[in-house]
A and B are shown apart, each in its own frame.
Chain A
Amino acid sequence: MKQFWKSMLKSPSGVIGLVILLVAVSVAAFGPMLFPNSPWRMVQRPFLPPFTLSTVPLGTDALGRDIFAGMIFGARVSLLVGLVSTLVALIVGVPIGAMAGYFGGKVDDALMRFTEFFQTIPSFALAIVLVAILQPSIYSIVASIAVVSWPPVARLVRGEVLSLRTREYVQAAVVTGQSNSWIILREILPNALSPVIVLASLMVATAILLESSLSFLGLGDPNLISWGYMVGAGRTVIRQAWWITVFPGIAILISVLGLNLIGEGLNDALNPRLSREGR
């Protein structure tokens, strides 16, 4: 573990990513306490440009709502959706992939055909349909993002398990009479985890983008403000009031970039043989 942090902190991209994520998480956690203004309340005249009034530093939108407050409250929704939907996708994908890889044969065929069923449908279209059917709410958004993002997890875990299951230490566990579930949980999965962690960090980024896209199309939770919703709401007036779309857009860009950098840092730390150093 110590070794892991050491190599993680050695890669510059990992450090930058961690700093960005830390800032984003603390904004999401503590921001609303420091700026208790509701992002839905009209505080000033509409279309107030940024940097003119210190009470509304980033200006106001078409209805005179504070953009700065919107970004702080939006961070909550974006990060929450990103993390929770990734978690759900892992909970679905890891066991399916592990079982398919470990048992092979018919189990593998059945599970992989099921996975491919989801993979053949364009993921964004499926997410839109699911949210539309289930009525837009934070739960239906998390669920639909999870539904479209678990197949790659299952595929990855299956591949890892396939190669690990022929290792001698797994065979050693078989001959000592361990049960299948014990072997999967104790011998195989811990050794298959590093690529999954890397993938998960990138999935959080993708989930944030998906949530933003859904909100942009007006399929966000109507009671919660999110970055994507703000971009979508400001899109019609982008030529008169650029700041309404640009600031939330930058927030999305930076947090997704941060998560991607973390993914890269994790990759270097967890798979040292694949990293470019030492070549």
Chain B
Amino acid sequence: MIAPPAVSIRNLRIALPKGAERPFAVDGVSLDLEPGKIVCVVGESGSGKSMCAHALMGLLPGTVSVASGEIQFEGRDLLKLDDDGWRDLRGRRLAMIFQEPMTALNPLMRIGDQMAEMFEAHGLLTPRERRDKALALAREVGLPDPERIVRAYPHQLSGGQRQRAMIAMALALEPAVLVADEPTTALDVTTQAQILKLIRNLQRDRNMAVMFITHDFGVVADIADQVVVLRHGKVVEEGPATAVFNEPQHDYTKALLAAVPSMDPPPRKPLDDQPKAVEVIGLDKTYVTSGGWFREDRRVDAARAVNFNILKGETLGLVGESGSGKSSVARLVMRLIEADRGTVRIGETDLTSLSGKALRAERHRIQMIFQDPFASLNPRRKIGHIIADGPIAVGTDPKVAFDRARDLLKMVGLDAGALERYPHEFSGGQRQRIGIARALALEPEIIVADEAVSALDVSVQAQVLKLLEDLKARLGLSMLFITHDLRVAAQICDRIAVMQRGAIVELKPTTQLFAAPEHAYTRELLAAVPGRKEHAPAA
């Protein structure tokens, strides 16, 4: 016998304010959440997946409104609920986990008190019982040393521990439905794997219905029972996870699946005979945060004796989790921050020994592509200026520089009309292309790409990666490619250096690293990549 669905969303339409890019954020979505099943709602940014989750929790922002449809839960239509009705249901029957656990937790309240607050809000139990319950919950979600951790503040916990605390709060009142809005996106891969497992286990034990919002097909492959693919607010495909992965029906689903980079590195020809483009020798950097009068200074090693070189035409990957120091190394190489010790050599020039004017004159040889396409372009300058400013600074005639900017835009796949426009008129992928054009404008020998595709949707990511690969081959560039995503690294890097706590623990050609990882940490990282098991997409 099939159990009746816990929640059934019927023909939901959510209207966006006038002047938005489309009339409905969510347009005629119907889906069922069944007890004991995880439904993954997948889509790229702007597909309306988060709107669905927020509608289910009654958390829609004031600027949008529900145009039609219904959400049935325990015999009631949630969309007709008043504030009191919502307050009663939220937390008790419906719970939510958010993307960023740091901002979802109150920084001034102890973890245990925040958990106990769940009971307090619904007038359950005595203060003493609430405290005991909080402790039991902390234990259940696998927080280490529960007695101590319920007395800790959110900032004293790691990202994964915070997310566990969030999950404990969501589960406190044994809700029938759990909504998880990108709960692992802000976490490192190894932590992500643990959290996914935790959600999976808890959901099975308690027979909860879970709505899991994500953009990551790897995560979907690991966790989903049912998959719903959203595009522009419409459901393009839905079905059991295995069916969607193995026999996708809709072209869009097929394209999305094909865009997920494979874990099998393609063969690359060796470059051993090429000269060294960059040489990094013994780079050290320690951040010291003053602890004040009574506490010791806090020291974080961002780089410990980092050595590597990049051959001409080679892409070296730098992978590691957040806080491993990979971005610091990029900035040390760029001389955006000063190293404590060590040398960075570009060709024959020792970059670390230069300063002032001499340094500025050499900077054009090594250029950077930044992570966040929304923060890396000055919102008040036109694209033409953004690209041409660099060449003009080194003395190129402005007219020549603008002509070149036009050519570069064409090279990265944008039309020349973009020159006169401002950054906010472009999408994330287009902005990243502009960032690439800016880096190329100075005709560098080396490109440092710091998480250059991490903020992009998977289909756009594939295009930008291809563009980078093409340009690199055409212009004979060397590249330092920094990423936390091993799939991306597998596709683009000739060699990969794995970083942990500021030190390179393993540096090998990509194929060897994936085939025979030596260091324990490398193995751990590889095992944690989502979507490796079961119905992983055929590569």
Contacts and interface: CB of A to CB of B under 8 A. Distances in A.
Interface stretch (A63-71, A166-174, A196-204): A166-174
Contact of B394 (A171, A177, A191): A177
A172 B63 contact: no
A191 B367 CA distance: 24
Interface in A175-226: 175-179, 182, 186-187, 190-191
A278 B17 CA distance: 11
A112 B144 CA distance: 45
A279 interface: yes
A179 B360 CA distance: 8
Name the residue in A171, A172, A191 with the highest tally of chain B Cβ atoms < 10 Å from its Cβ: A172
Given A169-B378, A187-B378, A175 B389 contact: no
Contacts of A178: 360, 389-390, 393
B380 A175 contact: no
B375 A167 contact: yes
A191 B393 contact: no
B59 to A, nearest CB: 14
B393 A177 contact: yes
Interface string B228-250: 00000000000000000000000
B530 to A, nearest CB: 27
A169 B393 contact: no
Given A168-B370, A169-B378, A176 B62 contact: no
Interface string B378-407: 111100001001100110000000000000
Contact-size category for A? 10 to 19
Interface in B421-455: 435, 438, 441-442
A172 B368 contact: yes
Which secondary structure dominates chain A's binding surface? helix
Contact of A279 (B62, B336, B361): B62
Nearest to A190: B380
Contact-size category for B? 20 to 34
Contacts of B364: 176-177
Contacts of B63: 278
Contacts of A172: 368, 370, 376, 435, 438
Interface in B462-502: none
B380 A176 contact: no
Contact of A175 (B367, B375, B381): B367
A186 B390 CA distance: 13
A271 to B, nearest CB: 14
Interface string A32-69: 00000000000000000000000000000000000000
A177 B361 contact: yes
A174 B448 CA distance: 14
Given A178-B393, A179-B360, A168 B62 contact: no
Given A175-B368, A278-B62, A278-B63, A191 B378 contact: yes
Nearest to B376: A168
A168 B375 contact: yes
B363 A176 contact: yes
Contacts of A168: 370-372, 375-376
Contacts of A174: 336, 363
B375 to A, nearest CB: 5
B363 A175 contact: yes
Contacts of B378: 169, 173, 186-187, 190-191
A178 B334 CA distance: 14
Contacts of B376: 167-169, 172
B370 A176 contact: no
B371 to A, nearest CB: 7
B377 interface: yes
Interface in A9-39: none
Contacts of B370: 168, 171-172
A278 B61 CA distance: 9
B120 to A, nearest CB: 26
Nearest to B378: A169
A157 to B, nearest CB: 16
Nearest to A170: B378
Contacts of B336: 171, 174-175
Nearest to B370: A168
A191 B363 contact: no
Contacts of A169: 375-378, 386
A175 B372 contact: no
A171 B390 CA distance: 12
Interface in B354-375: 360-361, 363-364, 366-368, 370-372, 375
A276 to B, nearest CB: 12
A165 to B, nearest CB: 11
Contacts of B372: 168
Given A167-B375, A171-B336, A182-B393, A176 B442 contact: yes
5 contacts: A169-B376, A172-B438, A177-B361, A186-B378, A190-B378
Given A167-B376, A175-B336, A176-B438, 17 more contacts: A167-B375, A172-B368, A172-B370, A172-B376, A174-B336, A175-B363, A175-B367, A176-B441, A177-B360, A177-B361, A177-B394, A177-B442, A186-B381, A187-B378, A190-B378, A191-B378, A278-B63
4 tightest A-B CB contacts, nearest first: A176-B390, A168-B376, A177-B363, A168-B370
Interface of A: 167-169, 171-179, 182, 186-187, 190-191, 278-279
Interface of B: 62-63, 331, 334, 336, 360-361, 363-364, 366-368, 370-372, 375-381, 386, 389-390, 393-394, 435, 438, 441-442
